[in-house]
Amino acid sequence: MSHGYAGAMKSAATDADSRFKSLGVVLRSHSTMEQEVLFPALKASAPKLVSKYQLDHERDEATLASLESDVKSAVTRIGRGDVKYPRSEDFKDFVSKLRSFVVGQRVHMNNEDLDLAGALASLSTEAEAEVFAKVYLHLEPSNAAIMPVLLDVLSRQDRAQYVFNVKSVLGVKYPQKWSAFQTILTSSLVAEEMDDLKFRVDLTA
């Protein structure tokens, strides 16, 4: 019984470790994109907002690095067969810290998206579209890893709006990249989710 439990915990820990690494890729890619694309575009029109989120990114990077060390330690202990660890106070503290960070990131990204969307709206239509194109293209090397995570946390309405925005840029300027994005969509969403998305957004270029 104990051996089976230890094996199940090791498998769960390995899966959690993989998911956390994917989250780290998403968060760092998102942060780098903002530092290199969005913030320079908005620095002149919204300097206080840019400064605020630059400080947030510095804090979040420090917390993420600390959590990466904690995750590595937890996976190592479970991998060694420490069946008592998942019931320990240390593990409870670790899970609480991890959960707090993930929830905090969702709140941060939601607030940031609203704030930055408002700031972007102050730009001309052409400038806003150009920024959006640069954002997608900047993230392109990591899009296959990032998109499944991003699409999963968005509501269906927000997901449809995001896809519509991507299409409005890629479908006109970069049709081949729009086709590649559609491939990512198909591999990231289950059939029912794709049907819902197609109902909300015309995916033809």
Which residue, among 180, 173, 175, 121, has the nearest Cα to 147 in the 3D structure? 180
Q: At what angle do helices 2-33 and 143-153 cross, to 10 degrees?
A: 100
State yes or no: pLDDT of 62 exceeds 90. yes
Rounded to the nearest 10°, the torsion over CA 149, 153, 156, 158 is -100
Task: Give the number of other CB atoms < 10 A from CB of residue 120.
Answer: 19
pLDDT in tens, 129-165: 778 778 878 888 778 877 887 788 788 998 998 888 7
Q: 39 near 50, Cβ under 8 Å?
A: yes
DSSP tag of 142: G
Per-residue model confidence (pLDDT) at position 179: 92
Q: 3-class SS at 196?
A: helix
State yes or no: pLDDT of 116 exceeds 90. no
Per-residue model confidence (pLDDT) at position 4: 62
- In which residue are the tokens 């942060």 written? 31
Q: How far is CA 32 from the centre of its chain?
A: 12
pLDDT band per the 50, 70, 90 thresholds, residue 1: very low
Per-residue model confidence (pLDDT) at position 5: 61
Q: What angle (nearest 5°) sits at the alpha carbon of residue 197, between those of residues 196 and 199? A: 65
Measure Cα distances from 192 to 88, 128, 144, 188, 196 in Å.
40, 32, 20, 12, 6
Mean of pLDDT values over 86-103 = 88
Average pLDDT of the residues of the chain: 85
State yes or no: pLDDT of 126 exceeds 60. yes
